[in-house]
Amino acid sequence: MSVFSNCLVSRREVLRAGTALAVTTLMLKPSPSFATPASEYRISPGRARAALKGENGPATGVWAYDGRIPGPELRLRQGVPARIVVENRLEEDTTVHWHGIRLPNAMDGVPGLTQPPIKPGESFVYEFTPPDAGTFWYHPHADSLQQLGRGLAGALIVEEADPVPVDRDLLWVLTDWRLDADAQIAPGFGNRMEAAMSGRVGNTVTLNGTVPGTQGVRAGERVRLRLVNTSLARIMALRFDGHRPVVVATDGQPCDPHEPDGGRLLLGPAMRIDLIIDMQGDPGSRHAVVDDFYDELAYELTTFAYADDAPLRKNPLDAPFRLPANPLPQPDLGDAERLDLALQGGMMSGMGGNMMGGGMMQGMGGMTHGRATWSINGTSMTGDGHAGMPPLMTLAQGRSQLVTMRNETAWWHPMHLHGFSFRVLKRNGAAVPHSLWADTVLLAPRDTVELAFVADNPGDWMLHCHITDHQTAGLMTVLRVGDAKDKT
Ligand code: C2O
Ligand code: CU
């Protein structure tokens, strides 16, 4: 494919892209998908080496699913039962959490809370039927700082029965790493100073497992771009120079198609955004994709590199942007239980967290001692969650819940609730437009958000910050839905 021959993409991507373009130029068929959906998978976390710095760079020792960074892209079908066998080839316990999927509590992958940990050499079979189509991901929920920070993460795509028509369906798994001079993963996970600040923000961002080169595109094509941030701590704010991406889903859930405020997309750890982009640049042109979340550390994530070929079509594809709705229960705000959650703790730097964890720590004293640096309503669950921690609250099964979450800290927090997607209703008193749903909501320092969901799924569900250092240092709790489980 001459279109992509000038681009730094892997052979597999070239093949995929080539196939897709061949299909679409001939038939203009909607949404080709590359990995075929299946209902059975087997994945094995273990040690591996990965070319994070590119084929010519030094290989990095990582922990990976099936030896791949990111882990294999799992594609499931909406409403079709899935069976995923996880075989632990690590030297320590693990589990897998299917982030954002509304599934039975016993399949949620929290060791000690929803299942026994998977011991080295042992397997666990996850079985669930994904009710929602969308962009999700999977990662361990044991020794989270190391297991996620050393590379265990992958995308989980649930395909719509009837997808919106696009020429290509692209996936960018974005991952931040802290590498040393030899391109090896730097030690020092769980640094308490960092845990009280912005967490372990690294120095190298990979796109689908390698430092990004360019993304080949063709003038006139319509692309669905699925963004997944699997970083331990790095928040991203992406801008697409010369393009007008339209957000069609957040955390896998369809929203009213809209252009982001100021063209800037905020993507905290664990968050996903589905975009539709009409490639309106000129053949042969190049356009930067920039991440400028941390004030002085803007960098070019990648570049759209247009092929020289004539535009695929003259005018943008005349087809709808709106994704088919998922079967989410609509909360009834007139009959809702109210829940107030206050996020507390951390270093009161007043710097808003909008700075790097690494560079500015020296000389900042006043760190609190002990493991719990953060808390939710005055309680701190630490580590990866443990059996026996009482739930913070019990919610009536089937009732609508109206949640007010206040960030009383000086830091950003992407707050994730297991087992549910929630409506994001208000931020700092103002209605949030575009009918947004999420499973991870990003709070700026001092933000207050209002969320709502129906507590229709019984069990003990984690609620925690997805900046992993914050989670393991106390910004975590459990909400129980329904009667106390009898854990026999
Ligand atoms: Cu993706 Cu408990 O997390
Ligand atoms: Cu946090």
Q: Whose CA is nearest to atom 1 of ligand 1?
A: 99
pLDDT at 362 (0 to 100): 32
| Plot region of 242 (φ>0 → left; ψ -120 to 50 → alpha; else → beta) | left
Find the range with the poorest average confidence among 13-22, 239-248, 464-473: 13-22
- Ligand closest to the CA atom of residue 196: 2
Give the residue from 382, 475, 464 showing the smallest Cα distance to 97: 464
Handedness of CA 358, 359, 363, 367 (dihedral sign): negative
Q: How far is the CA of 466 from the centre of ligand 1 (A)?
A: 7
- CA dist list (Å): 193 to 114, 189, 360: 31, 11, 11
Q: How far is the CA of 467 from the centre of ligand 2 (A)?
A: 5
What CATH topology corresponds to 333-486?
Answer: Immunoglobulin-like (2.60.40)
Give the other-Cβ count within 10 Å of 73's Cβ. 18
Helices (H) and strands (E) in the chain, counts: 4, 32
Mean pLDDT of 469-485: 90
* Closest ligand relative to 467 C-alpha: 2
Phi, psi of 187 (to 5 degrees): -70, -175
Question: At CA 61, angle to CA 175 and CA 226, rounded to 5?
Answer: 20
Q: Where are the domains of the chain?
A: 11-306, 333-486
**Assigned token pair, 84:** 């995923």
Q: Cβ contacts of residue 216 below 8 Å, gap of 6+?
A: 3, 4, 6, 7, 9, 17, 305, 307
Ligand 1 center to residue 440 CA distance, Å? Answer: 9
DSSP of 343-409: EEES---SSTT-S-TTTT-TT---PPPSS--EEETTB---TT--TTPPPSEEE-TT-EEEEEEEE-S
Lowest mean pLDDT among 3-17, 89-103, 301-315, 461-475: 3-17
Ligand nearest the Cα of residue 478 is: 1
Evaluate the CA torsion angle 23, 25, 27, 29 in order and state its sign. Answer: positive
Q: Which residues line ligand 1 (CB under 6 A)?
A: 97, 99, 139, 141, 270, 416, 418, 462, 464, 466
Instruction: Map residue 177 onto helix, strand or coil.
Output: strand
Distance 357 CA to ligand 1 centre (A): 22
Query: How much is the average pLDDT of 191-208?
Result: 95
Contact in structure between 190 and 469 (CB atoms under 8 Å)? yes
Closest ligand 1 atom, residue 137 Cα:
1
Tens of pLDDT, residues 35-66: 788 899 999 999 999 999 999 999 999 999 99
- 450 vs 357, higher pLDDT: 450
Ligand showing the shortest atom-to-Cα distance for residue 413 = 2
Distance CA 64, CA 59 (A): 13
Q: Residue 255's pLDDT band (boundaries 50, 70, 90)?
A: very high
130: pLDDT confidence band, cut at 50, 70 and 90? Answer: very high
pTM of the entire predicted model = 0.89
- pLDDT of 378-432, one tens digit each? 988 877 766 566 899 999 999 999 999 999 999 999 999 999 999 999 999 999 9
- Whether the pLDDT of residue 28 is over 90: the answer is no
- pLDDT above 50 (res 7): no
Would you state the pLDDT for residue 74? 97
User: Ligand 2 center to residue 472 CA distance, Å?
Assistant: 10
| DSSP letters spanning 82-139 | EEEEEE--SSS-B--EEET----GGGS--BTTTB--B-TT-EEEEEE---S-EEEEEE
Which pLDDT tens digit goes with each residue over 213-235? 999 999 999 999 999 999 999 99
Give per-residue pLDDT as tens, 338-347: 999 999 999 8
- Letter for the amino acid at 371? R
What is the spatial order of strands in the sheet that 459-465 belongs to?
Answer: 393-395, 476-481, 459-465, 413-417, 440-443
Residue 407 CA: distances (Å) to CA of 344, 349, 441: 7, 15, 12
**How close is the Cα of 298 to the center of ligand 1, in Å?**
27
Query: Does pLDDT of 5 surpass 80?
Result: no
147 Cα: distance to centroid of ligand 1 (angstroms): 12
**What are 14's two structure tokens?**
């070239």
Closest ligand 1 atom number to CA of residue 270: 1
Residue 110 CA: nearest ligand 1 atom is 2
Q: Which atom of ligand 1 is nearest to the CA of 139?
A: 1
Burial of 39 (0-12, 13-18, 19+ CB in 10 A): middle
As a 3-state breakdown, the chain gives helix, strand, coil percent values, each rounded to 5, of 10, 40, 50
**What residues have their beta carbon closer than 5 A to ion ligand 2?**
413, 465, 467, 470
Tokens of 64: 């990976």
Query: What's the pLDDT at 451?
Result: 98
pLDDT digits (tens, 9 = 90+) for 351-393: 443 343 333 333 333 333 345 799 999 988 877 766 566 899 9
Q: By the 8 A CB rule, do 279 and 306 touch?
A: yes
Q: Region 292-299: what's the mean pLDDT?
A: 90
Alpha carbons 387 and 427: distance in angstroms, whole number:
34
CB 102 within 8 A of CB 419: yes
Residue 18 pLDDT exceeds 60: no
Closest among 104, 107, 105 to 118, alpha carbons compared: 107
Task: Find out whether the peptide bond into 331 is cis, omega within 30 degrees of 0.
Answer: no
The pLDDT tens digits for 317-333 are 999 999 999 999 999 99
Closest residue to atom 3 of ligand 1, CA basis: 99
pLDDT-derived band of residue 263, with 50, 70 and 90 as boundaries? very high
Distance CA 132, CA 161 (A): 11
- Lookup result for tokens 């999977």: 138
How much is the pLDDT for 370? Answer: 45
Spacing, Cα 437 to ligand 1 middle (Å): 17
Q: Which ligand is located closest to the Cα atom of residue 465?
A: 2
Ligand 2 centroid from CA 406, angstroms: 12
Atom of ligand 1 lying closest to residue 141 CA = 2
Q: Which atom of ligand 1 is nearest to the CA of 471?
A: 2
Q: Looking at the predicted structure, is the pLDDT value of residue 23 above 60?
A: no
pLDDT given for residue 357 in this prediction: 37
Mean pLDDT (the chain, rounded):
88
What is the CATH number that goes with domain 11-306? 2.60.40.420
User: Is pLDDT of 127 > 80?
Assistant: yes
